Amino acid sequence: MRQKRAKIYRKLLHKYVLHFGFREPYQVLIDSAFAQSLSKQKIDEPLKRVADVIQAKAKLMVTQCSMVALYKQEKEGEYQKRAVQMAKTWERRMCNHKDAIDECDCLASVIGPTNKHRYVLASDQPRLRRKLRVGVPGVPLIHCNQTGVLVMEPMSDLTARKMLQVEQAKLALAHKEGSANAAAAAAAAAAALVSSGDSPLADDTPGARSVNTPSLGAIAQPAQAQAKKRKGPKQPNPLSMRKPKQKAAPQQPKSQAEVVGVKRKRESADGPESSAKDSAAFGKSKRRKRGKGDAQGAQTE
């Protein structure tokens, strides 16, 4: 049970650390009623007990107005007297109320509307705790129950809502930063792509060099890379495209000029004629296509 409660308190205070900037040593404001409860329950080491509850280093504090309230009740009994002695050892929080005001008002003013000094309030005045639960977010509240156990109260609705707001603001900020980072990452990725686009070329050139070099070990990997590249559609296509052109041209009687040209080429391949004569003959054959004359007739002219 005690371990379970400790875990709950630890988690609760961690939320205050995360979302409200609390940090060790926690400043614990103690009111007169709490001090008297400690004294009544004969708690000799209030600092240790408070530190046990918040599971962190604590600094106990008391306001001037709380001290005045304690002094007023000092002569009422033994535990009130001990409460004053106990409170004297704590750090005095200067509230600057020259004439002591109502203790609840004093503590509320010290904590302020936002608890910017990040106080933990240890109070045995339900009225004050309720006031803070409703009015000020981010104030951890501790009270002392009937059996002398120090209890940390669950987070108030106001604090929970504020925490959610802080979380969403952080998320929005993180999202902004994330998008900025994403943009930077995209730019970096683009740069990386450019460099990687260069790097394969840089890889290829050594590969080509290594092919030229006689060392087999160096050849092995680039050769595989080249083989992989040959698997692509570019290499087979030129080979497959050439043959259909040669075969398709005779099959299709597209134009007589082409047919004559083919004939001329065949003859030029047969005979040891120069390419210049070929071209001239080809031109002549073009002229003679109307007459459908044979190549020999073109040569004679």
Q: Which of residues 100-129 bind Zn ion (CB under 5 A)?
A: 106
DSSP states of 108-143: HHHHTTTTTT-EEEE---HHHHHHHHHH-SS--EEE
Copy the structure tokens of residue 173.
């900020």
Neighbours of 106 (CB within 10 A): 24
Region from 56-64, 124-132, 227-235, 272-280 binding Zn ion, contact rule CB under 5 A: 56-64
Q: Give every CB contact of residue 291 below 8 A, 6+ residues apart in sequence.
A: none
Closest approach of Zn ion to the CB of residue 40, in Å: 24
For Zn ion, the closer CB: 104 or 142 = 104
Residue 95 makes contact with Zn ion by CB under 5 A: yes
Region from 23-31, 94-102, 169-177, 253-261 binding Zn ion, contact rule CB under 5 A: 94-102
Cα separations in angstroms, 256 against 141, 190, 293, 296: 105, 55, 11, 16
* Residue entry with tokens 């006689």: 214
Give yes or no for a cis peptide into 25 (omega within 30° of 0). yes
Closest approach of Zn ion to the CB of residue 109, in Å: 7
Among 97, 131, 286, 289, binds Zn ion (CB under 5 A): 97
Q: What mask of x and - would describe binding to Zn ion in positions 58 to 87, judged by CB under 5 A?
A: -----x-x----------------------
Closest approach of Zn ion to the CB of residue 101, in Å: 6
Closest approach of Zn ion to the CB of residue 96, in Å: 7
Residues 12 and 154: beta-carbon distance below 8 Å: yes
For Zn ion, the closer CB: 100 or 249 = 100
Region from 9-17, 92-100, 144-152, 227-235 binding Zn ion, contact rule CB under 5 A: 92-100
Q: Give every CB contact of residue 24 below 8 A, 6+ residues apart in sequence.
A: 56, 57
Closest approach of Zn ion to the CB of residue 62, in Å: 10
Residues 22 and 118: beta-carbon distance below 8 Å: yes
For Zn ion, the closer CB: 53 or 104 = 104
For Zn ion, the closer CB: 87 or 298 = 87
Closest approach of Zn ion to the CB of residue 124, in Å: 18
DSSP state of 245: H
- Would you tell me which residues interact with Zn ion (CB under 5 A)? 63, 65, 95, 97, 106
